[in-house]
Amino acid sequence: MQQDGDGDRINIAIDGPAGAGKSTVARKVAEQLGYVYIDTGAMYRAVTLSAIRASIAPEDGERLAAHATTLEIGLKPGEQGQKVYLNGENVTSEIRSREVTLLVSPVAANETVREVLGTLQRGFAESKGVVMDGRDIGSHVLPNAELKIFLTASVEERARRRYNEIADSQSITLEQLAVEIAERDRLDEGRDIAPLVCAKDALVMDSTAMTIDEVVEAIVKLSRTKLAEAK
């Protein structure tokens, strides 16, 4: 079905491992294009927070699946970036805790959790004009996205960036963070359903030696080309 805006808006998928700069880049690209930014990792984090509160272990697949189908996950654009709601409660800060970070990959490996969130994500993208970041957006959630970017960087650089973001609030060493990020990459790449993978038609960008603004500029440029092609 043709929606308002089809033809003059596209969908942009930005996938890649933790700490590659996806969320900052995706938010800025969305700002520049006047698009909506959707952080799908935040949705997996919200389900994980809820499972922790309900004392459901990720290994308890059946309970986790049943729990996920009862949740209402909401995203709202805010001045400080996107706000995340779990059954109406603002959980934007809480979903960034180390406890959630350590459990999110096993929770995200659950098939029902992925189905529930994937359906929501496709709904957000229906009328085009979204920049969606995650692990499986170009490969699975939005296989027809007009522009797909696979954003990566060395694990050392990714750990360093994340360390600078969270060192004040969470007591963790750079070395420990690098180990945890590498382990999350391993789990995300190795799961059976919709693993972290570079889609065939995605453009790989290695941001190790690039600033955020350079990456944003490159993606905005590419999106203008794709937009011209889509017309």
Shortest Cβ contact with ligand CDP: which residue?
41
**What's the closest the beta carbon of residue 225 comes to ligand CDP, in angstroms?**
25
163 binds ligand CDP (CB under 6 A): no
Which one of 14, 49, 104, 153 is in contact with ligand CDP (CB under 6 A)?
A: 104
Nearest to residue 49, comparing CAs of 113, 112, 141? Answer: 113
State which residue, 108 or 216, has the beta carbon closest to ligand CDP. Answer: 108
User: Which tokens hold the place of 220?
Assistant: 């905005």
Q: Which of 131, 188, 219, 222 binds ligand CDP (CB under 6 A)?
A: 188
Stretch 22-51: interaction string toward ligand CDP, x if CB under 6 A: -x----------------xxx-xx------
CA separation, residue 73 to residues 25, 77, 102, 128 (Å):
23, 14, 20, 20
90 - beta bridge partners? 85
Element housing 134 (H / E): strand 130-134
Please state, in angstroms and rounded to a whole number, the distance separating the CA atoms of residues 184 and 177: 10
Q: Does 105 bind ligand CDP (CB under 6 A)?
A: yes
In terms of Cβ atoms closer than 10 Å to its own Cβ (0-12, 13-18, 19+), residue 112 is middle
Q: Rule CB under 6 A: which residues touch ligand CDP?
A: 18-19, 23, 40-42, 44-45, 104-105, 108, 134-137, 184, 188
